[in-house]
Structure formats: C-alpha cells, structure tokens
C-alpha cells in the first residue's frame, strides 16, 4: 500500500493462532473481537458470483491468522433476497445460493475446531413476504386468524385507499402496502418498516413469541454461540400506531429530549429479551445476544444490556461520532459510563454492511452526518486521508476495553466503492427512495483475496454479484500479507497486542494532553491519537510499541495517527 513501512518495533513475528491462546478473565464476550462476515461477499466456492458457506469454510484460516475471537454471519437463510437475506422465508434452513444445512453444520464444526465462536443473525421484526405465515395471512382475509400474526389495518379515507398512518419505510416511501383480498378487491394494508417484502410481525401475538423461542433453540441445539438480533428496537409498536411526523432519521430513536417514535425503542421490547435470556442461560457455555438497536442516548441503549437481557448492543453512537478529540473523548467516556452502570461490556464498531466503510467515511468533512450511500456524481472522499484516519481510528478502538466488531475487508483497508454503476445497485433503498439515496451496496462489494486471480480471488468466476473496482487489486490480501506497515499487518499486530496485554479487560485512565490530542492509559499501555493540525512529540521516556502509521522524520506523531506506547512507571496495571 502507499504507506511506508512502520518502524521495526511494530512488526510481528507471531505465528497464526499462537497469540490466540492467552486467557483473559471473565466470559469471552466481555472482551471479544468479533468479525462480521457478509456471506454474499466473503468468498464464492461455486462460481455463481455470490459468496457461500463452503467459501467461508475455505477461508476460515484467514480469521485465525488475523486473530479474531468470533464471527458473526449475516443471514444465510432461504429468502427471496429482497433485502439481501434480511427477508427470511424459512428460519431453519440455508438458502441454496449459500449452500445446504449440512454446510452450516460443517461451518460451525470447522470454526469450533479452530477456536472461533460463531454467532448468527436473527431477524425477528419481520419475515419475508414469501414466508408461509404471510401467505396464510393473505389467504385468510380481513379478520382471519392468520392475519393477526402481522400488522394489518384498514386504510383511511374514502374506500380505505389511504395508508392507516403516516409512517415511512426506512428505505423510503410509505411503510404500508395495500393487499388484494382473496375476492379480488383492494383490501387492508400491512405494515413494513423496511421493504414491501418484509412485513412486520405482531409481537403481541403469542404464536410469534413461541415461534422465535423455538428458532433460538433450533440454532442453539446446532451449536451456535449466539445471535445478533436485527432491529432489536423495533419489535413492539405503540399500541395506537399514532402518526409520527418527525422522520428525519427514521431508524433511530430520539436524542435526549422529545417524544419517542411510536415504532422504535418501546419499553415492551425488554420482556421479549428477558425471555430469550432465560432460554440462552439454560444452555451450556456462554451463548450471547447482541442487539442491533439504533437507540440514543447511551443510557437508553444500556437498558438492552441489563444483567437479565442481552449481553451486548452495538455502539452506533461511537460509529457516528465525529473525527475530533472532543467528540471521541465524549463518546468514549459516555459509552463506558453507560454500560458500566448496568454491568455490561461496552462495544465498539466502525463499519458494517449498512454504513459507508470507515476508510471512506472518515475522509468526509468533519461533522458530516452519516450519508446514505455515495455515488459517482457525489464529491469523492480522499482515499489516502480516509485510510490514514481509518487506521488511527481502528488502533484507538482496539485499545479500548470491551468487545470490538470488525467488518470484513476493513482489515485490508477497503474503501467504499463510491463509483459503483447505478444500474448494478441492488439495495432496495435506491429504488424505494426514488433514486434519492444510493444505499448500501458500496460497502457490500465482494472482497479481494488475490490481486491476480479472477474476481480478485473472491471466487472462480470473473464477475461477482456487485462489480468490484479495479483498485481492489492493490488492496488484495496477498499484496499485504507479510508486508510490514500494510493495513492487514497493522490489524494483525493490533489484535495480537490487544490480546497479550489484556486491553479488552482493562480500564481507561485519561492522561493530560494538549488540545486536539487524546491520551490515556489502559494497563501498562499508553494510547495517543493526534487529531490536531500539528505533529506532537512522544511523551518523554516513551517507547513506541505500535502505530497506525509512520512517525514523522523527527520522531513525532503526525496528524491522524494513533500510537501505542510503553513508559516505565511503577504501579501501573
Ligand atoms: C438491519 C440490517 O443490518 C439491515 O441490513 C437490514 O436492511 C435491516 N435491519 C432490515 O432487516
């Protein structure tokens, strides 16, 4: 890559897997680094251009070498793929594009034999419209028993031709679609907070609750280590389905003030997770629930990880924080305090399959709200600046106590694909927003393994379901592996040191620093990130342990670089 090699003190001689055996106190999930696999885009074994479970199995050693503790798999269940698998038609099987149920079993076994844990995605807010329950609901007609598992209502206005309320879909357009009744007449409307192919379930219905407990047990019995719970803040709606005008940020809850949206973060969700926690606790081992809940403020999110509920919740406030010392200081301290108040580990995440990759996002002007996709005619963020900040952000994140999430490809420094041709876009956001929002395809492009292979080693075919940019060659794993200072080797070293030094179970002690600089101690390691305009001197007596990028010729920490330091002082632990 374009960065020059780091000083020799940062290079790693660790053998794959060796550093993974260091024990840390407490259950694994309190400090784990969890790697998100987006199955469509990780590795394709059969040449259809879409990633699959055998492809993942064949690449598992990469994750061992990288040094993560666990993987989270985005959905691989049978699905019409209206929302890339987040529209599930059968919760107990594998879609043929991803393989067979036997492949899922083999993947669990192959991961276990390598010491990797596996958590799977659970999508309880909605099913696919191809789920048998939804077919039965349509066939049952208004008032039919099967209809009550979903949220059907009569429309407003003459002939019920207007949606029952003003809610908007997260992907754009109304959150309601009118059905044609069995007698051929226009009839009731059903709620879908996402795509029309994702009807919302009615979580007041006992059959819905019982079904999901059964699905949990089904995968727990197969050996999964836990579940990432999709839209965990959306299952329960305010009973009156009241209109909701302020919809600027439809997937989030409000800030500290103002009314709570009637579709998000209702208090009733918590008893569902308390029930699920009891189920997980009845299984041996430490199985976990992770909330995907776009809820603010941090105190409200912390309610999802009280001792009798979920184990973790994604920290999206952290993901959305500006790249500045005050903003990062504020979000780190607030996150640590909010999770400590309920005895939960804090989590950290910078990228996933729903947001602009952080190697691109961090190059946007500081303070830009998280955009919903970038297209060829938008201003193009500077990739060098983005990668520099991304590496500094990652090193900062991996020095924090708690559990960290990585998204596939970030260990290669992959940027967002910001020039994806519009005609290849698959995210329903693009069509549903009337082409106002590009959507999330740019972070979902299949990842590069080998610079000179077809589809950069993603699979045997030349083409992949989303086209890869030619610059993928320079990011390919085989161009970075063993190259000191490459993004991949920086990640690998960071993960090894994080484990060896117990950073995941440590404590943050803030140290005095000039404006524009964050400086703290975790155990015996000191962490310094320079957000300011000028280089900063290393603290006196400090020895460089690791860095996100090279120091300047005078041995100072340049702008947008994080360093890990050792400073011999008695009494630090
Ligand atoms: C959150 C998932 O991460 C996203 O990809 C999906 O579109 C929505 N939930 C709806 O399931």
CA of 177 to the centre of ligand 1 (A): 19
Q: What is the mean pLDDT of residues 99-114?
A: 98
Q: Name which residue sits closest to atom 4 of ligand 1, judged by CA.
A: 354
**Residue 265 in contact with ligand 1 by CB distance below 6 A:** no
- Greatest Cα-to-Cα distance within the chain, rounded to the nearest angstrom: 82
Instruction: Give the Cα separation of 371 and 363 in Å (integer).
Output: 12
Q: Is the pLDDT of residue 572 over 70?
A: no
What are 179-196's pLDDT values in tens digits? 999 999 999 999 999 999
CA of 201 to the centre of ligand 1 (A): 15
Q: Which of 1-10, 73-82, 108-117, 271-280 has the lowest mean pLDDT?
A: 1-10
Which H/E stretch holds residue 492? helix 487-500
Band (548; pLDDT cuts 50, 70, 90): very high
Q: What is the mean pLDDT of residues 464-472?
A: 97
Q: Is the pLDDT of residue 560 over 90?
A: yes
The structure tokens listed for 491 are: 């990640």
Sequence-distant (≥ 6) Cβ neighbours of residue 447 within 8 angstroms = 41, 42, 408, 409, 412, 414, 456, 458, 472
What percent of the chain lies above the pLDDT cut of 70?
93
Rounded to the nearest 10°, the torsion over CA 414, 419, 423, 425 is 30
pLDDT of residue 8: 26
Band (19; pLDDT cuts 50, 70, 90): very low
**Residue 441 in contact with ligand 1 by CB distance below 6 A:** no
- The residues annotated as belonging to the active site are 230, 292
pTM of the model: 0.94
**Residue 231 in contact with ligand 1 by CB distance below 6 A:** yes
**Residue 86 in contact with ligand 1 by CB distance below 6 A:** yes
Instruction: Give the Cα separation of 474 and 165 in Å (integer).
Output: 50
Q: Is the pLDDT of residue 435 over 80?
A: yes
Backbone angles phi, psi at 454, to 5 degrees: -55, 145
Q: What angle do CA 379, 380, 382 make, to 5 degrees?
A: 130
CA of 23 to the centre of ligand 1 (A): 34
Closest by CA position to 540, among listed 552, 555, 558, 551: 555
**Residue 354 in contact with ligand 1 by CB distance below 6 A:** yes
Q: Name which residue sits closest to atom 2 of ligand 1, judged by CA.
A: 230
Which H/E stretch holds residue 139? helix 132-140
> Average model confidence (pLDDT) for the chain?
93
What are 142-171's pLDDT values in tens digits? 999 999 999 999 999 999 999 999 999 999
pLDDT of residue 246: 61
Band (223; pLDDT cuts 50, 70, 90): very high
387 in Cβ contact with 409 (< 8 Å) = no
CA of 487 to the centre of ligand 1 (A): 28
């Amino acid at each position: 890559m374009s960065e020059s090699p780091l000083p020799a003190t940062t290079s790693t001689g660790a053998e794959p897997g060796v550093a993974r055996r260091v024990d840390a106190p407490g259950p694994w999930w309190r400090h784990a680094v969890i790697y998100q696999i987006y199955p469509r885009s990780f590795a394709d074994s059969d040449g259809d251009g879409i990633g699959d479970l055998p492809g993942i199995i064949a690449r598992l050693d990469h994750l061992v070498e990288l040094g993560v503790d666990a993987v989270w798999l985005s959905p691989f269940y049978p699905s019409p793929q209206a929302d890339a698998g987040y529209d599930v038609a059968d919760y107990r099987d594998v879609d043929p594009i991803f393989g067979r149920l036997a492949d899922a079993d083999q993947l669990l076994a192959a991961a276990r034999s390598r010491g990797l844990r596996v958590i799977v995605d659970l999508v309880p807010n909605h099913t696919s419209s191809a789920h048998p329950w939804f077919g039965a609901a349509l066939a049952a007609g208004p008032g039919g028993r099967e209809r009550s598992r979903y949220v059907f209502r009569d429309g407003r206005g003459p002939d019920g031709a207007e949606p029952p309320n003003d809610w908007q879909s997260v992907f754009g357009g109304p959150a309601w679609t009118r059905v044609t009744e069995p007698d051929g007449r226009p009839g009731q409307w059903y709620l879908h907070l996402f795509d029309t192919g994702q009807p919302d379930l009615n979580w007041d219905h006992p059959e819905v609750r019982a079904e999901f407990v059964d699905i949990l047990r089904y995968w727990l019995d197969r050996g999964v280590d836990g579940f990432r719970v999709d839209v965990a803040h959306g299952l329960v709606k305010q009973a009156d389905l009241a209109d909701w005008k302020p919809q600027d940020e439809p997937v989030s809850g409000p800030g500290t003030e103002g009314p709570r949206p009637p579709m998000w973060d209702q208090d009733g969700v918590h008893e569902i997770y308390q029930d699920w926690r009891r189920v997980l606790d009845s299984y041996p081992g430490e199985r976990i629930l992770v909330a995907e809940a776009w809820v603010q403020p941090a105190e409200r999110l912390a309610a999802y990880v009280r001792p009798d509920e979920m184990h973790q919740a994604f920290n999206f406030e952290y993901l959305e924080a500006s790249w500045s010392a005050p903003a990062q200081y504020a979000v780190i301290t607030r996150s640590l305090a909010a999770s400590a108040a309920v005895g939960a580990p804090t989590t950290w995440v910078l990228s996933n399959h729903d947001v602009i990759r952080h190697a691109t996002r961090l190059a946007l002007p500081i303070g830009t709200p998280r955009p919903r996709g970038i297209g060829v005619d938008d201003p193009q963020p500077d990739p060098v600046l983005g990668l520099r900040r991304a590496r500094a952000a990652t090193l900062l994140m991996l020095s924090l106590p708690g559990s960290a999430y990585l998204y596939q490809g970030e260990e290669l420094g992959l940027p967002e694909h910001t020039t994806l041709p519009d005609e290849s876009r698959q995210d329903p956001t693009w069509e549903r927003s009337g082409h106002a929002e590009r959507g999330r395809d740019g972070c979902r492009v299949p990842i590069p393994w080998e610079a000179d292979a077809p589809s950069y080693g993603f699979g045997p075919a030349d083409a992949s379901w989303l086209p890869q940019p030619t610059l993928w060659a320079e990011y390919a794993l085989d161009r970075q592996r063993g190259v000191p200072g490459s993004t991949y080797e920086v990640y690998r070293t960071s993960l090894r040191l994080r484990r060896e030094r117990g950073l995941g179970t440590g404590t943050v002690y803030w140290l005095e620093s000039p404006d524009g600089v964050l400086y703290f101690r975790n155990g015996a390691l000191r962490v310094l990130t320079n957000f300011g305009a000028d280089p900063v001197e290393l603290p006196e007596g400090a020895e460089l342990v690791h860095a996100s990028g090279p120091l300047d010729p005078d041995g100072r920490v340049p702008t947008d670089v994080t360093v890990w330091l050792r400073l011999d002082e008695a009494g630090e632990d």
